[in-house]
Structure 1
Amino acid sequence: MFWQSGSGFAVRVAIVSGVGMATLFASAQDTRTMTEPVIPPSCSTLPAQLLATNNRLDAGDEGKLDTKRIQAALDACKPGMAVELRPMSGNNAFLSGPLDLRAGVTLLIDEGVTLYASRDPKDYDLGGGLCGTILTGAKQPELSPQGCRSLIRAENVKNAAVMGDGVIDGRGSSQLIGHGYSWWQMARKAEPDNDRYYSSRLIAANHADGFVLYRITLHNAQNFHVVVNGTDGFTAWGVHLQTPTVKGTDARNTDGIDPASSTNITVAHSWIDNGDDNIAIKTGVTHMSVLDNHFYDGHGMSIGSETDTGDSFLLVDGLTEDHTTSGIRIKSNVTRGGSVHDLIYQNICMRDVKNPIAISPYYMGQTVEGFDDPKYTGDKIPDYTGIIIRSVVDSTPGDVLIAGLDEAHRTEVRLDNVSMKGSKAHGRFATVTTGQGGFDIDLSGTEITVVPAKGLAAGVLTGPVYRCEGKFVPMQ
């Protein structure tokens, strides 16, 4: 291995030997040369004028929005510089509605400062008064926040950024002004009948090449935390994402980081603990690296469920998953599937993960994958090929699913030095090729075809097993 160093952190890239493997590895990642981002100098400093105590604003401060002064500072700032939010005279809080980032400008939130999202859905409404409401009887297969703006938006701008050691809090658990429920309660209320509901998101980047999140802490997103679309070059480095901050609170549909229709993406040295997929790669993503991260509560390292325009060339290297529902998760079905190929997962530690591997064409909206074909009809066919899983350890037995849709669309996976002893395997229409390190998952009761490496029996782990000592550490 070699390291490309930034100023304190590093991006790890491994050289893989074997016919075709070096070429696959070189292509299955962000094609940029990545170094740690650098916080730019400030063009202006805004002092906090509000005080939050025990993470709460005084009720009398709820109308004292800082939106206009923050936006004016962003508009006036020169590219290559930052608008800095700073604690002042004991005050530690800003309150804002939607903000638009500008090209080359960084929103810098200092340590000790929290930027709180307004609880008034009218501040985010895109017209028609839909934001913060449920449209009963209007079904959709994937609930979306149409009708609301995001708290922070990078739209058609290059090299915008959000940085700093402060916090952005979406207050998803707080009651909305004018309504008797919170963002999260609204989402849960809409679930039984799959009703359309309208919720804001925390950060959204659209056609925002070079967008960066650095060291920032994200709490209690109203819906998804970070959504990136149509972007060439997105970096999340040293991000700390925790939702809900009060354990036991129901925070439905609060995905961590969701890229779509984008390329050259790196998520590195970050900590993600949330109420849905920790990372969910949506359709149209190529050349993405997920390097040296820690996941806690959440649904794991996911691709899908929308994959109809394809996903390819992903590298996940150095991941610890602690109490996620899934580990390596690829989910879709015939109403939204497509080609997913050239993926490498390596150097991964898991514990208390229900589905350490879940590769499924049977997705029905559930938290963990079912093992049987729901017999949906559609022509968007999930097709999973060129998947390498190597140097992976799951210390707690779970359920492994490796399945293809049919004989014409067999899932193709290579397992090399994979230890998940005691896990129960499920699958059909899949071919598993054994690497020289082998694996200890018993696939004998499945319909999965196993192709052993030369001189190696199927289902034998030859080791040495990847070492996970010291990997499981508290959320930071």
Structure 2
Amino acid sequence: MKLAKTYLLMSMLLCTSLAYAQYTRLPQISSKIYSVKDYGAVGDNKTVNTQAIQKTLDLAKTTGGKVLIPAGEYLCGPLNLYSSTNLEIVKGATLRLTNIINDFPSEKNRYLNFINISKATDVKISGGGIIDGQGEPWWIATTAKTLTMRRPQLLYMEGLQRVEITGVTFLNPPNTHISLKNCSDVYIHDVRIEAPAKSRNTDGINISAKNCTIERCTINTGDDNIAINFGNKKQAEDDPEVQNMLISDCNFGVGHGLSIGSYTSGSLRNLKVRNCSFDGTTSAIRIKTARGRGGILDQVSYENITIRNSRWPIFISQYYPHEPKTPQEDTTTAIGAYNPIYKNISLKNITCSNCQEALILWGLPESPIQNIRFEDVKISASKGAQIYHVSKAEFVNSAIKTTEKPRIYNSTVTGL
């Protein structure tokens, strides 16, 4: 009876926690430990440890358990990680990608990702250590247009269930830091992601997932800090590719902001962003797509957000990558395949200071932005608001401080 009561109490506490979080189950992994040093890995920043570390991961594949990267600097090539495995990089350890481009392995006309995980369950990446992509030679080669294949991503996951990423610092990938595609029950928390502002295509987190929480992360990068992409060509309003996602208590520095899109054809429902700060991001709150790659975005909310020193603090557009010079230039009325639909967007308690463009809302003439509400939103910017093709924009206790009048076209706006 006592055990039953304890189990009931734990279940109640879990349900209370999940009312806040969006994931439903964390990965379940055995307590068995495999240290890469026991299988020949040397942390001297000279030895290439690809075979030793992959051998350790292969052993863990059979039983499940923790693969431990002890203190040291482990130079390594591409790796594959499997179900029921916890890759733990301890504080004082660095897992560093080799950066000799000419000898880097490739397959199907693309360079292999550093850590690749596909169609797995119960996966965890943890520890206080570092995963370093040594990406600068790749960025230089990209600028010089000498690469013929797509660059490696630092951590790539596709088709996973029950994923946790915690504690690790991700640095300087050749391409994206963390990429998750079509995953479910994802918990990313307390990680740091860093790359220079001028680094090429170094998105922090590029993700499509169901039941996901991202919280207490710090992200500075050369592209989107977070990019929510969902490009399956299906327009699945009843079962969107992205649903039930929470992004909370994160700090975003240099980068292109927290972006939805530009591929949105798989549709999204129920995204909550709250208690986040942006400082120096080119964009902050950004939704971007275009005809031919759009789907349905429904029930998107932002609350308790601080934005400083941003060019585009709130930028919602259906014309990515380029808007017309004026809204009058585009008079299309026919609704084509994969036209974007944005509806039921809420922004509450948002403060934007020292910004350039106050606000850009730019829908399509045949598919205007539907039902966007601003409550307790205060914006200070050099240039005034642009509101084009919006069927209902409601401002409650909100103000835009600028020397320019708002530019409004084919829109219904109240309270501004």
Q: TM-score, with normalisation over the residues of structure 2?
A: 0.83
- Over 3 Å counting, the alpha-carbon distance change for 1:397 and 1:198 in structure 2 is closer
Contact 1:224 1:255 in 2 (8 A): yes
Equivalent in 102, 112, 128 of residue 149 of structure 1? 112
Residue number in structure 2 paired with 1:380? 338
1:323-338 pair list within 5 angstroms: 323-338=280-295
Q: Does 1:186 align with 2:134?
A: no
Inter-CA distance 197–69: structure 2 relative to 1 (3 Å threshold): closer
Amino acid at match of 1:412: N
Distance 1:33 1:431, change over 3 A: farther
Q: 3-state SS of the aligned residue for 1:258?
A: strand
- Residue correspondence of structure 1 range 86-97 to structure 2 within 5 A: 86-87=70-71, 92-97=72-77
Which of these residues, 146, 162, 165, is aligned with residue 210 of structure 1?
162
| Maintained 8 Å contact 1:79/1:103 | no
* Aligned residue pairs, count: 380
The answer to whether structure 1 residue 404 and structure 2 residue 363 are counterparts is yes
The equivalent residue for 2:233 is none
Establish whether residue 75 from structure 1 lines up as the match of residue 58 from structure 2. yes
Cα drift, residue 444 of structure 1: 3.8
Which residue of 166, 175, 187 corresponds with 1:235? 187
1:170 to 133, 148, 151: 133
Contact 2:18 2:24 in 1 (8 A): no
Question: Are the counterparts in 1 of residues 25 and 185 from structure 2 also a CA contact under 8 Å?
Answer: no
Cα offset for 1:148? 2.0
Structure 1 residue 297: Cα displacement: 0.5
Can you list the C-alpha shifts for 1:31-52, whole angstroms capped at 9, x where unaligned?
5378xx999745122346233x
Q: Per-residue displacement from partner, 1:209-253 (whole Å, max 9, x unpaired)?
A: 112211110000110111111211122111100013xxx6x3111
Q: Deviations over 1:184-216 (max 9, x none)?
A: 12332349xxx9742111001111111221111
3-state SS of paired residue (1:168): strand
Q: Which sections of structure 1, spanning at least 5 residues, go unmatched?
A: 14-28, 52-56, 131-146, 174-181, 453-457, 460-476
Deviation at 1:436, TM superposition (A): 4.4
Q: Is the 8 A contact 2:111 2:149 kept in 1?
A: no
SS in structure 1 of the partner of residue 287 of structure 2: strand
- The question of whether the paired residues in 2 share the 8 Å contact of 1:371 and 1:401 is answered with no
- Residue 106 of structure 2 is matched in structure 1 by 125
Contact residue 425 and residue 441 of structure 1 kept, 8 A: no
CA distance, structure 2, for counterparts of residue 5 and residue 353 of structure 1: 40
Task: For residues 330-352 of structure 1, give each alpha carbon's deviation from its aligned partner in whole angstroms, at most 9, with x where no partner exists.
Answer: 01111312221210111100100
Per-residue CA deviations over 1:166-195 (Å, capped at 9, x if unaligned) read 00001111xxxxxxxx2112332349xxx9
Q: CA deviation at 1:311?
A: 2.0
The whole-number CA distance in structure 2 between the counterparts of 1:385 and 1:301 is 18
The residue correspondences of 1:321-400 to structure 2 (distance < 5 A) are 321-364=278-321, 372=326, 379-399=337-357, 400=359
C-alpha change, 1:183 and 1:322, in structure 2 (3 Å) is same
Contact map agreement 2:151 2:175 (CA 8 A) in 1:
yes
Listed as ranges, the matches of 1:285-296 within 5 Å are 285-296=242-253
* Equivalent pair of 1:362/1:371 in contact (CA under 8 Å): no
1:302 is aligned to 2:259: yes
Structure 2 distance, partners of 1:215, 1:67, is 23
Q: Tell me, yes or no, if the aligned pair for 1:259 and 1:280 is still in contact at 8 Å.
A: yes
> Aligned pair in 2 of structure 1 residues 408, 76: CA closer, same or farther (>3 Å)?
closer
Aligned match of 2:121 in 149, 155, 158?
158
1:148 to 1:416, Cα distance in 2 relative to 1, 3 A: same
SS in 1 for 2:122: coil
User: 1:155 Cα deviation (Å)?
Assistant: 0.8
Alignment of 1:411-430 (within 5 A): 411-422=370-381, 423-430=383-390
Of the structure 1 ranges 273-282 and 336-345, higher mean CA displacement relative to structure 2 is found in 336-345
Measured in 1, the distance between the counterparts of 2:148 and 2:318 equals 24
Identical columns (%): 27
Offset of residue 120 of structure 1: 3.5
C-alpha spacing 1:448/1:359, structure 2 compared with 1 (3 Å): farther
For 2:379 and 2:389, the matched residues in 1 are separated by 21
Q: Distance in 2 between matches of 1:295 and 1:79?
A: 39
Aligned position for 1:139: none
Verify: 1:111 aligned to 2:77, yes or no.
no
Measured after TM superposition, the shift of residue 409 of structure 1 is 3.0
Asked if the contact 2:180/2:207 (under 8 Å) is kept, the reply is yes
User: Is 1:49 the counterpart of 2:33 in the alignment?
Assistant: no
CA distance in 1, matches of 2:292, 2:80: 35
User: Which amino acid letter does the alignment assign opposite residue 42 of structure 2?
Assistant: Q
CA distance 1:42–1:394, change in 2 (3 Å): farther
- The answer on whether the counterparts of 1:432 and 1:448 sit within 8 Å (CA) in structure 2 is no
Q: Does 1:440 align with 2:400?
A: yes
Residues 79-135 of structure 1: CA deviation (Å, up to 9, x unaligned): 663111112xxxx211111111121111100111111102244443005xx4xxxxx
Provide the residue aligned with 1:255 in structure 2.
203
Q: What stretches of structure 2 of length at least 5 have no aligned partner?
A: 1-11, 231-240
Deviation of 1:68 after TM superposition, in Å, equals: 1.5
- Rate the CA distance shift 1:291–1:416 in 2: closer, same or farther, 3 A: same
Partner-residue secondary structure (3-state), 1:446: strand
Which structure has more strand as a fraction of its residues? 2
When residues 235 and 196 of structure 1 are mapped into structure 2, their CA distance, relative to the original with a 3 A threshold, is farther
CA contact (8 A) 2:96 2:132 kept: yes
User: Residue 255 of structure 2 aligns to which amino acid in structure 1?
Assistant: G
Moved more, 376-385 or 106-115: 376-385
For residues 199 and 416 of structure 1, do their structure 2 counterparts lie closer, same or farther at Cα, with a shift above 3 Å needed?
same
1:367-425 Cα shifts (integer Å, max 9, x gaps):
xx776468699643122111001111012132110111115433431101101034521
